[in-house]
Amino acid sequence: MGTRMTVSSIGGCLRRGLAVWVLIAAAETVHGTMRAIFLAPRVGDLASRQVGVLTGSLMILLIAYLTIDWIGARESRARVAVGTLWLVLMLTFEVALGRALGCPGSESRRTMCPRKAAS
C-alpha cells in the first residue's frame, strides 16, 4: 500500500489549514491596525503600506512555517489544496471587509478607499 493521501486525510489538512488561516487573518488584522496607528503617521501612508507588505508577508511565512507540520500537508497535492484554500479565503475576506467599510470594489483596489479615511 502506498503513501498517497486519501480524500479524508486531505479533508483533515483543510480543516487544520482553515484554523491556521483564522490565525493568519487575525494576525494580519492586528498588523494592519498597528501599522495604521503607529507607522503611517510617522512615514506616510504609502511608505507604511510598502513596509506592511514586507512585514505582513514575513509574518505569514513564519506562521505557515511554524504550523506546517501540525497541518499535516506532507504531499504536494495537500499543500496546494491548503494554499488554494488560504488564497480563496483571504481574497473573500479582503473583498468583504472592503465592502463592509463602504469601499466600492474598483475604488478599493485602486486607491484603498481614502474617502473613508478622510471622513
The C-alpha atoms of residue 57 and residue 101 are separated, in whole angstroms, by: 23
pLDDT of residue 40: 96
The C-alpha atoms of residue 35 and residue 27 are separated, in whole angstroms, by: 12
More confident residue, 25 or 112: 25
The C-alpha atoms of residue 80 and residue 77 are separated, in whole angstroms, by: 5
Q: Please tell me the pTM assigned to this model.
A: 0.80
Q: Where are the domains of the chain?
A: 7-118
**Per-residue pLDDT tens digits for 42-86:** 999 999 999 999 999 999 999 999 999 999 998 899 999 999 999
